[in-house]
Chains A and B, each alone.
Chain A
């Protein structure tokens, strides 16, 4: 029994349900019938080479890109039908979506706190500033922060509304190893001690093994493999997750699908 199996729980525990999600652009099938779930207190890694469809999938879950077909339910709420209610249950942090640099850390948190309708906002902002060690930067404009500090602010924003679903798109991409380790520990702690489930993308396989309970390998818009990042490599005859990643990324899609069974 894997770690993720022990966490398997009733449908009420599913914080994200993606069903047969497709995204067509003229001449391109960016995401092809992707289905998966993320459960409460689970960290799921969405892996794949550049252009595999990870960010397209995340954008559809965030409601900033509409799927061609398929559905997204966040905490049981259909995103297409009840966009505002569904998105109130989610939040995200992405390396390519920095917070407005012309506002201070506290101003950004106040602004997004109001937009997310966070109750007791003043106390909540104080709490996340402390949680992410940002008190001394509260009056500093986000545009002048280092990459590590900006990542911490983005994560503080991402947990501000106690999301049931947290989407983290390469949250440690621009961090030094020490800062990345600290962030990983915080996120792992968040998954363990809160009610949220986390969907995480990363190109750092060491990080994925450390943090994720389960991984999904995405290539050319399709999910090829799914499983425990610690047992998947051996099950497919390779020594490490990185080797498995490279093999799947290089193989033609038909071969990869056949291998994945």
Chain B
């Protein structure tokens, strides 16, 4: 993998974001609104519980981590969609750029854009609503890493779906995190769910993060092995998503879909 083509993909996204407030704003606006809304909800819940339980770390912390995951996933897919919107596939894939360089460029872009969102969320949640991750300590890092890896995997999968199904399928991309959220127990323990939903939840890495976070905050035993399993599943998901993207790309090159992408199908 060569660094210059990857830098090219990153530079293009930088140009787009720098030149367009409508691209810069979503990097932090929606997550900031989420933190504010959930911040006040936790305040209200805290006042109702009369100090018996602090909802800030469990609820607001969960919102922050879920939004971080969503931003990572959307960072990858939005960078990909820029090439869909500007009908750039022919220009892009007739170059020496390899698929791994392209996907790495999307991932690096996502790291940059989601880091902005994370900083804004942390600043708001800590300064305004008193969120502290001290209780999680160093575990915050692996928690975020697992979410990061799964966000990357889901972003690559979403991009592959759009490449396979055509430009109009972008509406499939946006609700993907919301579709998964009931299964991973962002706000409730997995035991709340019926058996079939729990089975799906166990296959999703964020489940292990939120289960682990709640265990630590409630001073219950935390299983590092369980989090490691979540991390391993997330890494496997990245490999599978990359493989799926490559398969879809090869199909698009074989059928002519890549050259006539705006037609959505070559049938």
Of B12, B16, B88, B256, the contact of A59 (CB 8 Å cutoff):
B256
B256 near A116 with CB under 8 A, answer no
Contacts of A62 in B (CB 8 A): 90, 94
B86 near A84 with CB under 8 A, answer no
B93 near A99 with CB under 8 A, answer no
Contacts of B256 in A (CB 8 A): 25, 56, 59, 65
B90 near A114 with CB under 8 A, answer no
Cβ-based interface call for B140 (8 A)? no
A177 to B49: give the CA distance in the assembly, Å: 80
- The count of residues in chain A whose C-beta lies closer than 8 Å to any C-beta of chain B is 36
Cβ-based interface call for A101 (8 A)? yes
Cβ-based interface call for A132 (8 A)? no
In the complex, how many angstroms separate the beta carbon of A15 from the nearest chain B beta carbon? Answer: 16
In the complex, how many angstroms separate the beta carbon of A152 from the nearest chain B beta carbon? Answer: 16
A66 near B254 with CB under 8 A, answer yes
Cβ-based interface call for A103 (8 A)? yes
A55 to B94: give the CA distance in the assembly, Å: 13
Contacts of B25 in A (CB 8 A): none
B8 near A92 with CB under 8 A, answer no
Q: Which of B29-37, B70-78, B95-103 contacts A (4 or more CB under 8 A)?
A: B95-103
Cβ-based interface call for A110 (8 A)? yes
In the complex, how many angstroms separate the beta carbon of B89 from the nearest chain A beta carbon? Answer: 8
- Kindly report which residue of chain A lies nearest to residue B250, judged by CB atoms: A66
Interface of A is mostly: mixed
A116 near B96 with CB under 8 A, answer yes
A107 near B15 with CB under 8 A, answer yes
B93 near A117 with CB under 8 A, answer no
- Kindly report which residue of chain A lies nearest to residue B105, judged by CB atoms: A115
- The count of residues in chain B whose C-beta lies closer than 8 Å to any C-beta of chain A is 33
A111 to B8: give the CA distance in the assembly, Å: 5
Contacts of B12 in A (CB 8 A): 100, 103, 107, 111
A102-B96 in contact given A65-B259, A66-B254 (Cβ < 8 Å): no
A94 to B256: give the CA distance in the assembly, Å: 17
A139 to B229: give the CA distance in the assembly, Å: 50
Contacts of B254 in A (CB 8 A): 65-66
A112 near B93 with CB under 8 A, answer no
A99 to B259: give the CA distance in the assembly, Å: 15
A94 near B93 with CB under 8 A, answer no
Cβ-based interface call for B2 (8 A)? yes
Cβ-based interface call for A14 (8 A)? no
Q: List B residues at the A interface (Cβ < 8 Å).
A: 2, 4-5, 7-9, 11-12, 15-16, 19-20, 86-98, 250, 253-256, 258-259, 266
Q: Given known contacts A64-B253, A103-B12, what 17 new A-B pairs fall within 8 Å (CB)?
A: A25-B256, A59-B259, A62-B94, A64-B93, A66-B254, A83-B96, A92-B94, A96-B90, A97-B87, A98-B87, A99-B88, A107-B15, A111-B12, A112-B95, A115-B4, A116-B95, A116-B96
Q: List A residues at the B interface (Cβ < 8 Å).
A: 25, 55-56, 59, 62-66, 83-85, 87-88, 90, 92, 94, 96-104, 107, 110-117, 157
